């Protein structure tokens, strides 16, 4: 079976398949739909139906393949030369498949502590696909004691990652002939001043650095990814849109950077957009805020997964995950999964068969710890 579950598409066909698989093993599960009813998460329990279990958390969505040169169908698994190629193979359907394939082993282990398999949606866009399920923990679903988010870390135990916040800033000007700029307001030129401010903030964040010294790069990053504006060379642009983001080290106030940009935007409105009249305004909307994963040295999740992996130290990653959502709900959480993020989102994405085997061994050791 194969499923195209790009984030813009429904994942229900895949969840239907997972539900049928779980039913074939007699594993109880709950499906948690989104508000629109076109996507679902699923939460399954192997072992006793009680609080304090271990969640194996993975997402089912993947990024687009548009514009990428694949040598085979990206949505049909191709195994060759010790590698399993497909979109999402390493990020992170490989982990999902390993967790599901371990269900018979979990059942045979006669678990004293439950293991839950939780699959979500929209991780690649908002990391909100876990929120409705988390809200049910301790109500009509068991409240877990540990969450393992299986993003590819080469099975390193990751206890911290940066937050991710994305924004759209729209600069509204007023169209006029470029020969008479006093009759309007140039949205693109005003937007340029905001980009300069974001550059200045990026430099300041780099100088401020990361107090822990554990991240790569070792500071909060600020990035402008896209600017759109204008219709012709000789027309003052009426609108310019800036898509930007920051990725903050733990401890960064998520409101600091947008608040400081807003201060500069107020000045730009006064000094440039409205210098000849009440022509313009600037609006910034936050699209997504993915909370960071904050270090919790000695947490139950850290102790358990270090024991399972046999490692003696934790690491950090620069990318965002759903882990911060679980941690914000008060559940000790780490990130640990097979494969490397360096292959994610690439054409001919793959996970090696050796990495899959290492993931299978991880599941067997976890079952022993929960037995």
Note if 296 is an active site residue: no
Distances (CA, A) of 230 to 49, 134, 335: 59, 44, 43
Query: DSSP character for 312?
Result: S
Parallel/antiparallel/unpaired status of strands 239-248 and 221-229: antiparallel
Q: How far apart are CA 15 and CA 12, in angstroms?
A: 5
Count other Cβ atoms within 10 Å, centred on residue 268: 20
DSSP annotation of 165: E
Query: Strand pairing partners for 119?
Result: 42, 58
Contacts of residue 166, defined as CB under 8 A and 6 or more positions apart, other chains included, come to 243, 244, 245, 286, 287, 288
The conformation of residue 296, written as its DSSP 8-state character, comes to -
> Which residues in 268-337 belong to E strands, given as ranges?
281-290, 315-317, 333-335
Q: For residue 244, what are the β-bridge partners?
A: 167, 224
61 annotated active-site: yes
Q: Which of 6, 40, 61, 159 is catalytic?
A: 61
Catalytic residue among 6, 96, 123, 151: 123
Buried b (16+ CB within 10 A) or exposed e, 226-252: ebebbeeeeebbbbbebebbbbbbbeb
φ, ψ of residue 118 in degrees (nearest 5):
-125, 120
- The residues carrying an active-site annotation are 61, 123
């Amino acid at each position: 079976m194969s499923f195209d579950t790009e984030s813009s598409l429904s994942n229900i066909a895949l969840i239907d398949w997972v539900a049928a698989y779980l039913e074939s093993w007699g594993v109880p599960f709950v499906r948690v739909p989104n508000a629109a009813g076109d996507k679902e998460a699923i939460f399954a329990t192997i072992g006793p139906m009680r609080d304090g279990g271990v969640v194996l958390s993975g997402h089912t969505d993947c990024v687009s393949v548009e514009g990428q040169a694949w040598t085979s169908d990206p949505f049909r698994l191709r195994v060759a030369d010790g590698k399993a190629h497909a979109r999402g193979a390493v990020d992170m359907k490989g982990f999902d498949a390993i967790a599901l394939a371990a269900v018979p082993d979990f059942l045979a282990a006669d678990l004293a502590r439950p293991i839950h398999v939780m699959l979500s949606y929209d991780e690649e866009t908002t990391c909100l696909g876990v929120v409705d399920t988390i809200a049910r923990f301790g109500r009509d679903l068991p409240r877990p004691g540990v969450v393992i988010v299986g993003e590819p870390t080469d099975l390193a135990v990751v206890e911290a990652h940066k937050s991710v916040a994305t924004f759209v800033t729209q600069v509204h000007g007023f169209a006029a002939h470029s020969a008479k700029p006093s009759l309007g307001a140039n949205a693109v030129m005003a937007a340029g001043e905001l980009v300069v401010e974001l550059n200045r903030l990026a430099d300041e964040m780099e100088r401020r650095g990361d107090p822990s010294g554990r991240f790569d790069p070792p500071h909060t990053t600020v990035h402008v990814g896209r600017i759109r504006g204008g219709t012709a060379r000789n027309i003052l642009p009426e609108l310019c849109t800036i898509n930007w983001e920051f990725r903050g080290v733990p401890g960064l106030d998520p409101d600091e950077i947008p608040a400081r940009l807003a201060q500069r935007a107020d000045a730009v409105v006064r000094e440039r957009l409205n210098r000849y009249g009440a022509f313009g305004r600037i609006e910034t909307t936050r699209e997504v805020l993915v909370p960071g994963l904050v270090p919790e040295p000695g947490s139950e999740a850290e102790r358990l997964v270090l024991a399972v992996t046999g490692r003696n130290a934790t690491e950090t990653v620069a990318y965002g995950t759903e882990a911060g959502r679980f941690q914000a709900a008060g559940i000790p959480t780490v990130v640990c999964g097979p494969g490397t993020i360096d292959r994610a989102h690439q054409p001919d994405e793959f996970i090696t068969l050796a990495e899959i085997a290492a993931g299978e061994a991880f599941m067997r050791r976890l079952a022993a710890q929960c037995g």
